[in-house]
């Protein structure tokens, strides 16, 4: 039996239902399912989950992230991905002979890269693959839990911002967004607006209108 309605606000320890299916940010005790965080409950058929509003980034396989090279090691790099755990990238991603070549030729300390997480181990420490150097441009920090809204369904939101502003944008699931090109300030304003209003309905339309207004007024 479901004890919450769709889009109801919940807090840690709030009961979601008895004998129901569970996913995301909830836990089971006996037959009962409870929320483990402060957030918004979503109900789909017989399953309940909770959408978070805030929270840090925990690495997940196949996420694309934006990292900062923090150390060049022997045959690999240590990358800061803004999480509590470490991320490594093997030198073999860019060269055949990683042990004998100077890896700082490819990426040196402080360089920005976007990469995909290929593996996360039981300590949540991750391996990165397919690095892409992000040159120039700038990075903003966004609440990692709002990234799905910045990207939108089938990337709709992100493509719309890119088309309208003509700005190059790379979104990392770890909450870092890289921008380069035209109208950066407007793109940032739009992203901040999405971050603030993430849980409201009809957001894509509102952002589209917002971008049109901003672009016209300059």
Partner 1 sequence: MKLLENGKRLDGRALDEIRDVKIETGVLKRAAGSAYLEWGNNKVLAGVYYPREMHPKFMRDPTKAVLRCTYNMAPFSVDDRKRPGPDRRSQEISKILSEALSSVVLLEDYPDAGIDVSVEILQADAGTRCAGLTAAAVAIADAGIPMRDLVSSCAAGKIDGEIAVDLMKDEDNYGDSDVPLAILPRKKEVVLLQMDGKMTKEEFKKAYKLAFDGAMKVYEVQKAALLSSMDSVEGGE
Least separation in angstroms between residue 4's CB and partner 1 is: 13
Nearer to partner 1, 40 or 117 (CB): 40
Least separation in angstroms between residue 25's CB and partner 1 is: 7
94 vs 18: CA distance, rounded Å: 52
DSSP state, 173? T
Query: Which residues in the 27-56 window bind partner 1 by CB under 8 A?
Result: 27, 34, 36-40, 52-56
Q: With binding defined as CB under 8 A, does residue 12 bind partner 1?
A: yes
Closest to 63 measured CA to CA, from 2, 138, 140, 147: 147
Beta strand 64-72 pairing with 47-52: unpaired
Residue 108: how many other CB atoms lie within 10 Å = 12
Q: With binding defined as CB under 8 A, does residue 78 bind partner 1?
A: no
Nearer to partner 1, 36 or 101 (CB): 36
Q: With binding defined as CB under 8 A, does residue 3 bind partner 1?
A: no
Query: Which residues in the 113-172 window bind partner 1 by CB under 8 A?
Result: 122-124, 145
Q: With binding defined as CB under 8 A, does residue 11 bind partner 1?
A: yes
Q: With binding defined as CB under 8 A, does residue 213 bind partner 1?
A: no
Query: Which residues in the 180-209 window bind partner 1 by CB under 8 A?
Result: 193, 196-203, 206
Closest to 164 measured CA to CA, from 215, 218, 204: 215
User: Per DSSP, which regions of 64-153 are E strands?
Assistant: 64-72, 76-80, 87-90, 112-120, 126-133, 138-141
Sign of CA dihedral 132, 137, 141, 145: negative
Rule CB under 8 A: which residues touch partner 1?
A: 9, 11-13, 25, 27, 34, 36-40, 52-56, 58, 84-86, 122-124, 145, 193, 196-203, 206
């Amino acid at each position: 039996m479901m004890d919450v309605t769709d889009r109801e606000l919940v807090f840690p320890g709030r009961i979601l239902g008895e004998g129901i299916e569970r996913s995301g940010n909830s836990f089971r005790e006996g037959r009962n399912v409870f929320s483990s965080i402060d957030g918004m409950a979503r109900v789909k058929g017989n399953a309940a989950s909770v959408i978070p509003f805030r929270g840090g980034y925990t690495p997940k396989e196949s996420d694309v992230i934006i990292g900062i090279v923090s150390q060049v090691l022997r045959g690999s790099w240590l990358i800061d991905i803004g999480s509590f755990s470490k991320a490594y990238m093997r030198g073999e991603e860019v060269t055949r002979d990683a042990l004998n070549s100077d890896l700082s030729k490819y990426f040196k300390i402080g360089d920005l890269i976007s990469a995909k997480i290929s593996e996360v181990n039981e300590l949540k420490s991750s391996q990165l693959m397919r690095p892409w150097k992000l040159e120039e441009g700038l990075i903003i920090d966004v609440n990692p839990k709002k990234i799905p809204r910045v990207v939108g369904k089938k990337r709709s939101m992100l493509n719309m911002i890119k088309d309208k502003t003509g700005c190059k944008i790379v979104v990392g699931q770890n909450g870092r967004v890289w921008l380069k090109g035209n109208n950066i300030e407007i793109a940032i304003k739009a992203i901040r607006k999405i971050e603030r209003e993430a849980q409201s309905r009809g957001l894509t339309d509102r952002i589209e209108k917002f971008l049109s207004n901003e672009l016209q007024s300059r």
